[in-house]
Structure 1
Amino acid sequence: MTRRDALISVIEALHAEIDALKSNDVSALELATRTKVAGIDAVASFDGEPMTAEIRELAGEAHRLNETCRIYVNLMAANVRRRLQNLTGNPMAAYSPAGLAYA
């Protein structure tokens, strides 16, 4: 496997993560995450090699996709927090020490 192949594997796994997050498919999310971590480990094994323009571009794409995943997770967490606040009648932030006192 080359660094390019490893980055492509990471990108494919990130696409799978996004799809799993959109569909709330926990099993697919777990598989995509394991695949992504394995790809990242493979990319890291090429650490001493010089960066080419193609590798830099693939790494940038992986970074953008990872940021998209992060945004999806943050939105999902905010929705859960809002739902919990509605269920408990607690207007305080669910993750603050005062908010936890009501849990």
Structure 2
Amino acid sequence: MQRREALIEVIEALHAEIAALKSNDVPALEAATRAKLVGIDTVALYDGEAPSAEVKELAAEAHRLNETCRIYVNLMAANVRRRLQLLSGNMAPAYRPGGYAFA
């Protein structure tokens, strides 16, 4: 498999990850993550070669999709933290970039 095809597989896996995150489908998320990692390992085999313009474009698309996944995960983690705080009655100060905000 060539780098281009591997990047296309990574992109497809990232789309599957996003869909799994949206639907809270853990088995689908695990499968998509495994597929993504296999594709990334394949892309890494071509590390010493100069990428073509198409490969650079595919890599940029993969990066954007990965950032979308990261945002979903961070939002889910924040929601869980908020729910746990409500359940425990321990309302910790809200997080802000650079530290905690104290009232």
TM-score by structure 2 length? Answer: 0.89
Counterpart of 2:33? 33
- 2:66 aligned partner, one-letter code: N
Q: Once the two structures are superposed, what CA deviation does each residue of 1:2-30 show, in whole Å capped at 9, x if it has no partner?
A: 10000000000000000000000000000
Other-structure match for 2:75: 75
Could you tell which deviates more after superposition, 72-81 or 47-56?
47-56
* Deviation, structure 1 residue 81: 0.3
Partner residue, 1:24 = 24
Q: Give the Å deviation of 1:48.
A: 1.4
> Is there any run of 5+ residues in structure 1 with no aligned partner, and where?
94-103
Offset at 1:58? 0.2
Q: Does 1:60 align with 2:60?
A: yes
Q: CA deviation at 1:51?
A: 1.1
The Cα offsets for residues 39-94 of structure 1, whole Å up to 9 and x where unpaired, read as 0000000111111110000000000000000000000000000000000010116x
How well do the aligned residues superpose, as a CA RMSD in angstroms? 1.5
For 2:87 and 2:47, locate their aligned partners in 1 and report how far apart those are by CA, in whole Å: 49
Q: Provide structure 2 residue ranges, at least 5 long, that are not aligned to the other structure.
A: 94-103
Alignment partner, residue 8 of structure 1: 8
